[in-house]
A and B are shown apart, each in its own frame.
Chain A
Amino acid sequence: MIRIDSVTKRYPDGTVAVDRLSLEIPDRSITVLVGPSGCGKTTTLRMINRMVEPTEGTILLDGQDIQRRPVTALRRSMGYVIQNAGLFQHRTIVDNIATVPRMLGWGKQKSRARAAELMERVGLDSALAKRYPYQLSGGQQQRVGVARALAADPPVLLMDEPFSAVDPVVRKGLQDELLRLQDELGKTIVFVTHDIDEAIKLGTTVAVLREGGRLAQYAPPAELLSAPADGFVEDFLGADRGIRRLSFFSSAALELTVDPVITADADAGRIAASGTPHLLVTDADGRPLGWAERREAAAGPVDTERLLPHGRPFVPGTDSLRAALDCAVLSPTGWAVAVDGTGRVTGVVSQATIAEAIRTAHTQSRAEAARQAGETGEPRDADAADRADKAEVAP
């Protein structure tokens, strides 16, 4: 555990970058520091590996003051990933990744073998090993940066806006990759970003900092969205926090109906039996083809060329309520299509049913929060279960 204890960083010109900040960063979780520029998030991160020395206060790593450890030994026990990766352009990819093992005296063969292993782990083609950084895309370079930080298997990983400089599609890929890696490796990750969506997606716990380096709120993402501490946090979260909060509710409990689902060769009796104005037509395998008007479908064989598009379906249990609501809102009929992992229709659900599920989820989450507050006397802590929830229900 990293314990930041009323740490202040004041520069000689009087600027206060971090103001009496206290945080407890739990092991094996992702703690995100988020806030506008000038909120001291990067300074805070850099105080953990002593790239910046605090003016006041102490930082404890597993109970020991980090000031008492030799600075190089401290840094070597923490992986460090920065924006634009900061790769060594004169070294090949494999040698970049092998940097820390080589510093620790592992020997060339062993270091390279470890580097090759890490390339695979972060999803880099082994053909890139002998390339130089300029030959890689921004996203690939950032993967190399992560691999380099993990090379000596440090328990702590410090990441300073690592994905800020890549385009949104690549960023999403890197974020998913980080969550997957974290499930495998269970590092203590401190992650700095200015992007609240990134913070909510990645964080087990999120520390929102405000200008002048003061802590505004320190809570798991779901709690941040449901109960922002003040106007600053609420503004920082943005206008659609209600919608985003749905990312944390599973769609598993949605009541699906198969009433309006018919196959393309369904007979008239089956069509007449359904009570909805639209029918979802599937092929013989059960994959969705599109929506048909009931009146038209009843008139004769379904013309699969003239169906309304069914939109992107969701997978109950895997996708969140947010994804289900999105499907329903985008669907021309107002009904969301649910499919199983192989893409076969398992049912459809209306906007009204989803709205009902949202109300139920809110009620349950309030009851849960009240129960936990009653048990511990304080808002619930980040724990492994929360992490697991999030991995399952990707926003």
Chain B
Amino acid sequence: MNVLTFVDAFFSDSAHWHGYDGIPQRLLEHVQYTLLALALAAAIGLPAGLLTGHTGRGGNAIAFIATAARALPSFGLLVLIVVTLGFGLLPVMIPLVVLAVPPILVTTYEAVRSVDPAPVDAARGMGMHESRILFQVELPVALPLILSGLRSAAIQIVSTATIAAYVSLGGLGRYIVDGLYQRDYEKVVGGATLVALLALATIAVFWAAGRLAVSPGVRRHRT
């Protein structure tokens, strides 16, 4: 019995493709958790990173927040929140967002900081407003790095969102948690494979986003 046999057995079992515990349903749930957590983390991390990166102030605070947040164990945080707040989507979102904010915040800050100061000086000297400098001069050049921060946050969320199953929610974690409980290793391996595939798909999505959103002038410049 090797892993591939498990994988083959899991995916060829037609029961795994239908109903509320079917692969499409669990995949959809997992993607929803991921998107929601990523959106929340981006809503916090991107503005904070852009603003601190543009002004150059608050770099120390960011380093502190990032280190502190990285030191928090996601699973421990989940248990703690469930104990205090009870079950639901919110207790799952908090650890995921806490996990995803630091890579977004830190890379966004670094990305804006590392933009060549000459074009920024030129833009300011020609009378461009600060907001316009940030969004039209710094952001397009910082975009590849910012996307890489979002990408690593997304991958971490995809793999960590499995903990949602521990608090009775769905997602691909269901297969892993249930499989371990039922000693159904076919299910465990199948669930883990799906998570890995979803992580790979996430990388592909960000690669495509980079091709679409990053100016050819910046893309070629960086290589």
A92 neighbours in B (Cβ, 8 Å): 217
B141 neighbours in A (Cβ, 8 Å): 88-90
Report if B197 contacts A (CB, 8 A).
no
Report if B221 contacts A (CB, 8 A).
yes
Q: A158 to B126, alpha carbons, bound, how many Å?
A: 10
CB under 8 Å from chain A, chain B span 150-196:
none
Shortest C-beta distance, B142 to chain A (Å), equals 10
Report if B215 contacts A (CB, 8 A).
yes
A224 neighbours in B (Cβ, 8 Å): none
Please tell me if the beta carbons of A88 and B137 are within 8 angstroms of each other in the complex. yes
Report if B19 contacts A (CB, 8 A).
no
B contact residues, total (Cβ < 8 Å): 24
Among B116, B125, B137, residue most surrounded by chain A Cβ atoms (within 10 Å) = B125
CB under 8 Å from chain B, chain A span 69-101:
71-76, 79-80, 82-92, 99-100
Report if A134 contacts B (CB, 8 A).
yes
B122 neighbours in A (Cβ, 8 Å): 80, 82, 85-87, 145, 148
Among A51, A91, A100, A158, residue most surrounded by chain B Cβ atoms (within 10 Å) = A91
Q: A209 to B168, alpha carbons, bound, how many Å?
A: 75
Would A100 and B216 be within 8 Å (CB), given that A82-B122, A86-B119, A90-B141 are in contact?
no
Chain B residue nearest to A73 (CB atoms) is: B127
CB under 8 Å from chain A, chain B span 16-67:
none
Please tell me if the beta carbons of B119 and A100 are within 8 angstroms of each other in the complex. no
Chain A residue nearest to B215 (CB atoms) is: A90
Please tell me if the beta carbons of B127 and A133 are within 8 angstroms of each other in the complex. no
Instruction: List residues of B whose CB falls within 8 A of some A CB.
Output: 116, 118-129, 132, 137, 140-141, 214-218, 220-221
Chosen A-B contacts, 29 in total, with CB atoms closer than 8 Å, are A49-B125, A51-B124, A51-B125, A72-B128, A75-B126, A76-B127, A80-B122, A85-B122, A86-B119, A86-B120, A88-B140, A89-B116, A89-B141, A89-B215, A89-B217, A89-B218, A89-B221, A90-B140, A90-B218, A91-B215, A100-B126, A100-B127, A103-B128, A132-B215, A132-B221, A134-B220, A135-B220, A149-B126, A158-B125
Query: Besides A89-B215, A90-B217, 13 other CB < 8 A contacts?
Result: A79-B126, A80-B126, A86-B121, A86-B123, A89-B116, A89-B218, A90-B215, A90-B218, A91-B215, A103-B132, A132-B217, A133-B221, A148-B122
